[in-house]
Amino acid sequence: MSIWEYANPVKFMQTSGWLLPWVFGATVLTLVPGLVWGFFFTPLAEEFGATVKVIYVHVPAATLAINIWVMMLVTSLIWLIRRHHVSALAAKAAAPIGMVMTLIALITGALWGQPMWGTWWEWDPRLTSFLILFLFYLGYMALWEAIENPDTAADLTGVLCLVGSVFAVLSRYAAIFWNQGLHQGSTLSLDSEEHISDVYWQPLVLSIVGFGLLFVTLLLLRTRTEIRSRRLKALEQRERMA
């Protein structure tokens, strides 16, 4: 492996450097209005009272927590098949963001569950699956940290991500079987009959888009950092060899 394989990363650095301000701008333009709208200008729900406002942080975080894992699965597959270094580094960069999102979903869910269900924590299938997802994120990140050779680490975490995905889905269905839940059904559906009423739906969609763009911004930043850190390591190694 030589650092000259970094032709692709150079291209990535250029493109992402150009893209970053735009994505950041779009994040600010959606996240701030979405959250402000959700917090200040939504009516109280009959059933839930003011606690309905929690969904503007809970649902976007939970949506992202799952989708980030899916994104890591895709980038891991690309790395294992096509061996693009950037792809593996993007998966590595995404994991901590996904972990924080899972944590947010768990914490806001617990805070919301206290007045609504009368308990901080319930062994409900959705909650349980999220806890397991959190453990998978921890294991994935720990494996990255533990292995020194970056290519070996990328390969092994990639395989772990594949196997982990299968078992995360399995655990989800096992948990549904194991305990019928308290958790609300899906709040999100493109079918307007099914989803919650528009007053809540519109700011929620804006918040979700904002969270998504925030993820993209952070992902670009972190992937750039990972690429720089890899190049730094390669340069140091070359210096030592010389």
Partner 1 sequence: MIPDLGKYTVTILGSWGATLALLAALIVLTLIRGAQVKRALEAQEKRMKKNG
Partner 2 sequence: MIALLTRDLRLAIRAGGGFGLGLAFFLIVVTLVPFGVGPQGDILARIASGILWLGALLACLLSLDRIFALDYEDGSLDLLATAPIPLEAVVTVKALAHWITTGLPLVLAAPLFAVLLHLPGPAYLWLEVSLLLGTPALSVLGTFGAALTVGLKRGGLLLSLLVLPLYVPTLIFGAELVRRGAEGMAIEVPLTMLAGITAATIALVPFASAAAIRVNLR
Q: How deeply is 174 buried, as exposed, middle or buried, from its count of CB atoms within 10 A (0-12, 13-18, 19+)?
A: middle
Identified binder of partner 2 from the candidate list 45, 103, 116, 156, rule CB under 8 A: 156
For the chain, give me the number of helices (H) and strands (E)? 6, 0
In Å, the largest CA–CA distance within the chain is 72
**Residue (3 or 138) nearer to partner 2, CB:** 138
Per CB under 8 A, the segment of 8-16, 95-103, 161-169, 198-206 that binds partner 1 is: 95-103
The answer to whether 169 touches 14, Cβ cutoff 8 Å, is no
Gap between the Cα atoms of 135 and 70, Å rounded:
16
The one of partner 1, partner 2, none whose footprint includes residue 46, by CB under 5 to 8 A per kind, is none
Taking CB under 8 A as the rule, which mask of x and - marks residues 165-194 in contact with partner 2? --xx-xx--xx-xx----------------
Characterise 183 by phi-psi region: left (phi > 0), alpha (psi -120 to 50), beta (else): beta
69 counts as binding partner 1 under rule CB under 8 A: no
Token reading at 40: 């200040």
Rounded to the nearest angstrom, the gap between the alpha carbon of residue 184 and the centroid of all alpha carbons in its chain is: 21
Residues at the contact surface with partner 1, assessed by CB under 8 A: 39-40, 44, 49-51, 53-54, 57-58, 61, 96-97, 100, 103-104, 107-108, 111-112, 114-115, 214, 218, 221-222, 224-225, 228-229, 231-232, 235-236, 238-239
Residues at the contact surface with partner 2, assessed by CB under 8 A: 132, 135-136, 138-139, 142-143, 146-147, 152, 155-156, 159-160, 162-164, 167-168, 170-171, 174-175, 177-178
